[in-house]
Amino acid sequence: MDFELAPEQKEIQALTRDFVRAEVEPHAATWDREHHFPRELFAKLAELGLMGVCVPEEYGGAGADFVSYVLVLEELSRGDAGVGVTVAVHTSAVTLPLLRFGTDEQRARFVPPLARGEHLGAFALTEAEAGSDAGALRTKAKPDGDGWRITGAKQWITNGRHAGTFLLFARTDPETPGAKGVSAFVLDADHVRVTRDEEKLGLNS
Ligand SMILES: Cc1cc2nc3c(=O)[nH]c(=O)nc-3n(C[C@H](O)[C@H](O)[C@H](O)COP(=O)(O)OP(=O)(O)OC[C@H]3O[C@@H](n4cnc5c(N)ncnc54)[C@H](O)[C@@H]3O)c2cc1C
């Protein structure tokens, strides 16, 4: 088996490494110390196509393969692990699930702005009493007119304060316990209220 990276994978790796040396490494300690979320950095990553590396071009991505995306995460995380986590959650937990499981309409509406980095993605699953046991979540969604009314509280949602698109999980069938009674919703940020920032031991950017 050949484990050598392909030329285009090496190219993306080198592009990201150069970017991180110039734009991340000089600031990483300050961002961490000051708990600064470098919103402007993600616009620059988007210009390089790195907010949707492995998303097909027809959906606004760079059209590279998954290994290229992992190489990007490695390089970003080497400079600032918080930046790596932001891009990983944005891509792996929001953009790619929408691409894989969304309807045609959801894909067309939500994926291009995510892949182009115009919106950041957040994945809202965890609750105070539902971490490892995610199927125990209590946030409820009830049909309301043409849509749904969602009530509940999530916690530890990476990108929560900065995201434009949320993939949020809520119980739609109160009679069915566990994960089978839960559905995923795609929400614009103006339907979500962020109430606090978590104090963490690391990943502060
Ligand atoms: C930096 C950070 C970012 C995060 N970002 C997100 C995010 O973007 N979106 C989101 O939805 N969530 C996010 N989370 C939440 C994360 O998914 C949860 O922390 C995780 O699911 C674990 O849940 P918990 O912290 O409640 O721990 P618990 O579930 O309470 O687990 C505590 C400990 O008990 C162990 N344990 C649990 N159940 C069992 C069992 N049955 N048998 C044996 N051991 C068990 C666990 O392994 C762990 O060691 C984030 C968390 C962190 C720290």
Last residue of a domain, one of 64, 99, 119: 119
Percent of the chain with pLDDT over 90: 97
Residue 125 Cα to ligand 1 midpoint, Å, equals 11
**Ligand 1 atom nearest 158 alpha carbon:** 8
Residue nearest atom 6 of ligand 1, based on CA coordinates = 157
Tell me: do 40 and 112 sit in the same domain: yes
Question: Element (H or E) spanning 13, and its range?
Answer: helix 7-23
Residues 133 and 98 placed together within one structural domain of the fold: no
Residues 18 and 113 in one domain: yes
Which of 178, 138, 135, 136 shows the shortest CA–CA distance to 154? Answer: 138
Task: Classify residue 110 by its DSSP letter.
Answer: H
Contacts of 38 (CB under 8 A, 6+ apart): 27, 31, 83, 205
Q: How many domains does the chain have?
A: 2
One domain for residues 47 and 71: yes
ipTM above 0.90, yes or no: yes
pLDDT the model gives residue 1:
85
Give the pLDDT band of residue 183 (cuts 50, 70, 90): very high
Question: CA-to-CA distance for 103 and 151, rounded, in angstroms?
Answer: 24
Q: Mean pLDDT throughout 128-156?
A: 97
Q: Are 80 and 205 in contact (CB under 8 A)?
A: yes
Let me know whether 42 and 95 are in one domain.
yes
Domain match, 115 and 129 both: no
Residue nearest to atom 37 of ligand 1 (CA): 132
169 CA: nearest ligand 1 atom:
11
- Note down the domain range covering 111: 8-119
Kind plus residue range of the DSSP H or E element containing 187 = strand 182-188
Q: How far does residue 121's CA lie from ligand 1's centre (Å)?
A: 20
CA–centroid distance, residue 33 to ligand 1 (Å): 25
Nearest CA to ligand 1 atom 53: 156
Is the pLDDT assigned to residue 2 strictly greater than 90? no
Q: Strand 165-171 vs strand 121-124: parallel, antiparallel, or unpaired?
A: parallel
| Closest residue CA from atom 12 of ligand 1 | 126
Per-residue pLDDT averaged across 15-38, rounded? 97
Question: Helices (H), strands (E): how many in the chain?
Answer: 7, 5
**Is residue 161 domain-resident?**
yes
Task: Say if residue 87 is in the same domain as residue 158.
Answer: no
